[in-house]
Amino acid sequence: MNAILIEQTTGFFAEKFGNEPDKVVLSPGRINIIGEHVDYNDGDVLPAAIDKVICFAFEKNNSQTANIVAVDLNETVTIDLQGEMQLRDAIWTNYFSGVVKYLKESGYELSGFNCVFSSNIPVGSGLSSSAALECGLIFGLQALFGFEISKQDIALMGQKAEHWVGINCGIMDQFASVHGQKNKVIQLDCNTLAYTYHDADFSDYSLVLFDSNVKHSLFTSAYNTRRKECEEGFSILKRNFPELKTYRDCTPDQVETIKEQFSADVYKRVRYVVGEINRVSRACQALDAGNIQLVGQLLFETHDGLSNDYEVSCAELDALVDYAKADEAVIGSRLMGGGFGGCTINLIKKGSEEAVKTKFKALYQAAFDIELKSYDVKISDGTTLYKG
């Protein structure tokens, strides 16, 4: 699949600029196996890069101008590299101006370049095409101009570019896109950026995402409220157990002991966070032991927590997980990402994928009159220099 994308992108480059590109970069999207809404609560996440990528083709052009072609949108932008970077109406161009801005601010000397890019990552479905865009560009410019930027700094600069665009994201997406390794998940502490890899051979099971195709607008307000509720919850815990440094140190028992001190909502949020941090570490142990059934069960538990305690699900996502619970071929399913829409991540017995997709599509269409899309994903390498 990526071979076709590479051929198309480099072919387009040759057509547009009259020669082959010097550098070709593949920059992947990402999934998160488990660890939702814990990145800002001192927990670990468990993301991985996937086999859906943005392909970039580059060359220097001996000028002070960047010419960038977004093949999928059939749009071209020209950026004067010597001027101040400006936000423009065409959102996608801001990821590029953001990267240029922060490369320059970090002292990297850019000169003119031509860039063509095209992608097979679904946009806006929660697979982080935006992180793939920022980080792939930084990685490509580093290769083109011979900069030496560590993987961690590429991820951090990508995050800054995303903030420049106006999305106040954490570091997980960029980190996973850059650090991904084939058949490995990354256990990442988003605060300290400490990380370890775990083998993720799902053997008899395939990873399939179902795209609910909805995006409920509750997301931002709920996110801000949850953050406040979690802070309040922790301050109550800390008052009772001064030895606690973060949510990471809390046990479910401690939460239960002082249950009456929380408001009903805060209690549920705290119960979710402490439970989820615990599930991430159990999922790592299960992966290490090759116990994929247990990983699946933990995904279902996470979804229940996100839906009932953290209250960031929606009818469409709950229905998709209910279909999964009722189907023997699906051993785990949960909403992936912030909630209120986007995809569910599912572990499906190999050989049953197509039957499950057909069945879920019919059920979802009947219930919501929405077409259900699905994406097969494999855990793959992070940003890669394909040519050059």
**Binding-site ranges for ligand ADP (CB under 6 A):** 70, 72-73, 91-92, 119, 123-130, 133, 167
Is 327 among the residues known to form the active site? no
How far is it between the farthest Cα atoms of the chain?
Answer: 71
Q: Which residue, 296 or 337, has its beta carbon nearer to Mg ion?
A: 337
Q: How far is the CB of 209 from ligand ADP (least distance, A)?
A: 12
* Beta strands at 44-45 and 184-189: parallel, antiparallel or unpaired: antiparallel
Three-state DSSP state, 27: strand
- In the bound state with ligand ADP, the residue whose beta carbon lies nearer, of 133 and 138, is 133
Q: Residue 73, exposed/middle/buried by CB under 10 A (0-12, 13-18, 19+)?
A: exposed
Contact 296, 54 (CB under 8 A): no
Q: Based on CB atoms, which residue is closest to ligand ADP, 54 or 188?
A: 54
Q: Would you say 86 or 365 has its CB closer to ligand ADP?
A: 86
91 binds, among Mg ion, ligand ADP, none (CB under 5 to 8 A by kind): ligand ADP
Residues in the chain: 388
d(CA 190, CA 274): 16
Distance CA 295, CA 35 (A): 12
Residue (50 or 143) nearer to Mg ion, CB: 50
Q: Do 158 and 138 contact (CB within 8 A), yes or no?
A: yes
Half-sphere exposure of 55 (CA within 13 A, CB side): 24
Q: 199, 167, 202, 173: which is closest to 188 by C-alpha?
A: 173
Q: Which two tokens stand for residue 37?
A: 């809404």
Q: Least distance from C-beta 5 to Mg ion, angstroms? A: 19
| Binding partner of residue 119 among ligand ADP, Mg ion, none, CB cut-off 5 to 8 Å per kind | ligand ADP
Least spacing, CB of residue 11 vs ligand ADP, in Å = 16
CB closer to ligand ADP out of 158 and 332: 158
Output the CA–CA distances (angstroms, integers) from residue 230 to 3, 111, 191, 223, 334, in the order listed. 45, 46, 16, 11, 21
Spell out the residues 6+ positions from residue 350 whose beta carbon is closer than 8 angstroms to its own: 204, 205, 206
Spatial separation of the C-alpha atoms in residues 375 and 377, rounded to whole Å: 6
**What, of ligand ADP, Mg ion, none, does residue 126 touch, CB below 5 to 8 Å by kind?**
ligand ADP
What does the per-residue mask of binding to Mg ion show for 289-308, with x meaning CB under 5 A? Answer: --------------------
The CA distance from 382 to 388, in Å, is: 17
The answer to whether 130 contacts Mg ion (rule: CB under 5 A) is yes
Q: What is the CA radius of gyration of the chain?
A: 22
127 binds, among ligand ADP, Mg ion, none (CB under 5 to 8 A by kind): ligand ADP
Compare residues 43 and 126 and give the one whose CB is closer to ligand ADP.
126
Binds 124, which of Mg ion, ligand ADP, none (CB < 5 to 8 A, cut-off by type)? ligand ADP
Of residues 322 through 351, those in contact with Mg ion by CB under 5 A are none
Q: Torsion over CA of 272, 278, 279 and 283, rounded to 10 degrees?
A: 160
Q: Show contacts with Mg ion in window 166-185 (CB under 5 A).
A: none
Pairwise CA distance, residues 336 & 346, whole Å: 10
Catalytic residue among 39, 42, 51, 173: 173
Binding-site partner at residue 92 among ligand ADP, Mg ion, none, CB < 5 to 8 Å by type: ligand ADP
Query: Could you say which of Mg ion, ligand ADP, none residue 270 binds, taking C-beta under 5 to 8 angstroms by partner kind?
Result: none
Please state, in angstroms and rounded to a whole number, the distance separating the CA atoms of residues 324 and 320: 6
Whole-number Å distance between alpha carbons of 205 and 217: 33
Shortest separation between residue 93's beta carbon and Mg ion, angstroms: 16
As measured in angstroms, the least distance from the Cβ of 230 to ligand ADP is 23
Q: How far is the CB of 375 from ligand ADP (least distance, A)?
A: 12
Nearest distance in Å: CB 71, ligand ADP: 8
Annotated active-site positions, please? Answer: 173
Binding site for Mg ion (CB under 5 A): 128, 130
